[in-house]
Amino acid sequence: MFQQNIELVFYKKHLKNSIDKSTVVPKAYLFDTGKKEWTSFSKYPIKGGTGLDLYLHADKKLSSDPPKKGFLEYLSDPKNPVPYAEGVFETLDFLPDYMSDDQRFVTHRKDVLTFQTEELKNDITFIGEIKVSLKFSTSGTDADFFVKLIDGYPQNEPNSPYTPVGIKLAGYHQMVRSEIMRAKFRNSFSSPEPIVPNLKTNLDFRLQDVYHTFKKGHRIIIQVQSSAFPLFDINPQKFVNNIYKAKESDFQKATIKYSAKVKYP
């Protein structure tokens, strides 16, 4: 579909001028990773959408209701990092299809927090930029935050003819978008700053653009963790200006506490 209806038409119009001038080439084609279908747009970014703030609650719920007082915490250990894919612990094991892996493989870990909405009563489409706004503290002087937006499938979801062998879509956790942010760069990428231990700190960053429909009966899920090894290098959790000069003694355990919200403008 992409080659015949998008790429070929674009090249014919702009390189060869061999199609009718009345043929409209949209400003953008986007693939809805939830509905699994292409959509054309005459303008992008689009306007007129409804913003949504999703808050992480201390009881692991994800909702648009502002959270009450409380916090969540975990112990982040550089010697026991969270793997970015199931069964992967070495750089030689890099899996190019890690983004399609079922994210349930880390839900049992105490250093991964998973928040989810109730089952959706209607389809919800996310299109555009997602912003993460964290409020955290740590016993260390630096920390990583790896945030994942996940589509939680219902337990009765049947496999499709295209489902890979060994995958079951019942209860499947599809990673929609993810991004990592090293907190020492929270104010500047050129001038890193240490964190004051146990002081509430703000960290805002972008979770990449998205076009995904969470279908009725699915759940919106957010996972937060402080490592995704070896896709990303391990943060010592002690501030070092140059990570390549970190000593073994710099790698320390840290207790991380926070509340957060994910904002979709």
Dihedrals phi, psi of 67, to nearest 5 degrees: -75, 155
State mean pLDDT over 158-163.
88
Pick the CATH number of 49-240+250-264 from 1.10.10.10, 2.60.120.260, 3.40.50.300, 3.50.50.60: 2.60.120.260
* Residues across the chain: 265
Please tell me the predicted confidence (pLDDT) of residue 69: 79
Element spanning 210, H or E? strand 201-214
| d(C-alpha 95, C-alpha 231), whole Å | 9
Residue 91: pLDDT band by 50, 70, 90 thresholds?
A: low
Res 27 pLDDT > 90? no
Q: Which residue has the higher pLDDT, 12 or 178?
A: 178
Alpha helices in the chain (DSSP H): 8-11
The amino acid that residue 181 corresponds to is M
Res 108 pLDDT > 90? yes
How many Å separate Cα 124 from the centre of its chain?
A: 17
Please tell me the predicted confidence (pLDDT) of residue 96: 63
Res 80 pLDDT > 90? yes
Please tell me the predicted confidence (pLDDT) of residue 90: 60
Q: Nearest CA to 265 among 183, 219, 209, 188?
A: 209
State mean pLDDT over 82-87.
85
Q: Where in the chain is the domain with CATH 2.60.120.260?
A: 49-240+250-264
**Residue whose token pair is 């700053």:** 193
Each residue's pLDDT tens digit, 47-71: 877 888 999 998 999 999 988 878 8
Long-range Cβ pairs for the range 231-235 (8 Å, 24+): 231/84, 231/85, 231/94, 231/98, 232/84, 232/144, 232/146, 232/180, 234/78, 234/81, 235/78, 235/142, 235/143, 235/144, 235/182
Residue 26: pLDDT band by 50, 70, 90 thresholds?
A: confident
| d(C-alpha 148, C-alpha 142), whole Å | 20
Please tell me the predicted confidence (pLDDT) of residue 187: 95
C-alpha pair distances (Å), 201 with each of 10, 109, 184: 47, 25, 11
